[in-house]
Amino acid sequence: MSTRIGILTGGGDCPGLNGVIRAVTLHARQTYGWEVVGIRNGFEGLYEEEYVDLNASTVQHLLPRGGTMLGSSNRANPFAYPVKLPDGRVEIHDVSTRCLANLAKLDLHGLIVVGGDGTMSFSQKFIQRGATRIVGVPKTIDNDLEATDYTVGFQTAVEIVVQAIERLHTTAESHERIMVVEVMGRYAGWIALTSALAGGAHVCLIPEIEYDPDRVLEAFHRRHGRGVSYSIVVVAEGAKQKGGGHSVITAADPTKQEKLGGAGQRIADMISAKTEYEVRTTVLGHIQRGGSPCAFDRELATRFGVKAVELVAEGKFGHVAAIEHGKLVAKPIEKAVKKLKLIDPAGELVRTAKGIGIELGG
Ligand code: F6P
């Protein structure tokens, strides 16, 4: 039997996943003559044994396409998996033993797991349980994986947010309004702060710096005092007021993380309650995860895909492809799951924002 590798995309989707699938398939087939098996819907496909053959023709035209041709699921936690019983009830089971058995049946030379912190921590658990031939590719619009400077999907999300901010500028100015834009990023402010810098926002609230509402209001008063009667406020979904909590829509359960949302409206309500300024809120939501990847993400996806195949070829399992100071490197999977990569409140990015007068609320 010929040598075979597998690939799956887990967790929330993002632009650039198809670029990774394409690069893995082309490099594995053309350089090594390996077969490539796509596992559908993250670890769900491993449990359900849903596979697809990947070759040069199935990955044709894939590079600019958003989403993932393999499908993905952020409920496919093999260690707390929602199993539908014959009577229709759903019970949470640990299905990892069956996943491991299915993996053994596939007899893969290596499994490439494309994912964020959740998918990487499941992979880490599988490695600890003997499925050692795993390598990772970091993706998430949140850019919050400690192992790498950039994850696939982040730059595209920033491009989308910056375009939205630019549009909000013109309407905000016409109507002399405060425009609040809530962006994703979970507990990290990378999307918010990078987009605020690139989009020329006036206030930016990120999870890493708890905000003082009075400081935020003061920023508007200062602008109005200078005769500028509109403002753009970028709010990360994980932003918190000093001493307050996250704005949560749905609490976590054993199968999934808590769902954040409402941080932007919370700020807008506070501004409306305490000032005469007119405020409107835009929640960009999943628009940030949709559509075609930007050039940076297409390139990163391709480099990561090729690197992941190289790691399999070298037998360097238990590692993820990563970018460090502009160079492609391999980092242990633990590094991707140990802790979230957050913005340093005393770091260069924050100092830059403060340096040009962006109010960060704290
Ligand atoms: O992790 C990526 C992300 O888009 C976060 O920024 C956001 O909080 C979450 O996923 C949304 O998840 P879902 O697609 O389940 O609503």
Ligand 1 near 140 CB (within 6 A): yes
Q: Considering the chain, what is the average pLDDT of its residues?
A: 96
Q: What is the pLDDT of residue 255?
A: 82
What kind of architecture, by CATH, is found in domain 4-152+293-337? 3-Layer(aba) Sandwich (3.40)
Burial pattern 310-331, b for ≥16 Cβ within 10 A else e, equals bbbbeeebbbbbbbeeeeeebb
| Residue 226 DSSP one-character state | T
**Cβ burial 51-76 (10 Å sphere, 16+ → b, else e):** beebeeeebeebbebbbbbbbbbbeb
Query: What is the number of alpha carbons within 13 Å of residue 160 lying toward its C-beta?
Result: 25
Percentage of the chain modeled with pLDDT above 90:
95
Residue nearest to atom 12 of ligand 1 (CA): 12
Which ligand 1 atom is nearest residue 142's CA?
A: 6
Nearest-CA residue for ligand 1 atom 8 is: 186
Q: Atom 14 of ligand 1 has which residue's CA nearest to it? A: 12
Q: Which residue has the tokens 């305490």?
A: 274
Intrachain domains 4-152+293-337 and 155-290 with the same fold: yes
> Using an 8 Å Cβ cutoff, are 43 and 122 in contact?
yes
**Token pair 């069956």 in the structure block, residue:** 98
Does ligand 1 have an atom closer than 6 angstroms to the CB of 240? no
**Ligand 1 atom index nearest CA of 141:** 2
pLDDT tens digits for range 19-50: 999 999 999 999 999 999 999 999 999 999 99
Out of 3.40.50.460, 3.20.20.70, 3.40.50.11540, 3.40.50.150, the CATH code matching 155-290 is 3.40.50.460
In the beta sheet, which residues pair with residue 91?
83
User: CA–CA separation, 191 vs 235, rounded Å?
Assistant: 10
**Per-residue CA distances from 340 to 76, 279, 286, 322 (Å):** 21, 33, 21, 15
Point out the residues that are catalytic: 142
- 111-137 pLDDT per residue, tens: 999 999 999 999 999 999 999 999 999
Q: What is the C-alpha to C-alpha distance for residues 281 and 69, in angstroms, rounded to an integer?
A: 33
The Cα–Cα gap between 38 and 34 comes to 13
153 within 8 A of 293, measured Cβ to Cβ: yes
In order of 149, 293, 316, the CA distances from 326 in angstroms are: 8, 19, 21
Tokens at residue 160, please?
């989308």
Any atom of ligand 1 within 6 Å of the Cβ of 13: no
* Domain extents in the chain: 4-152+293-337, 155-290
* Ligand 1 atom at minimal distance to the Cα of residue 259: 8
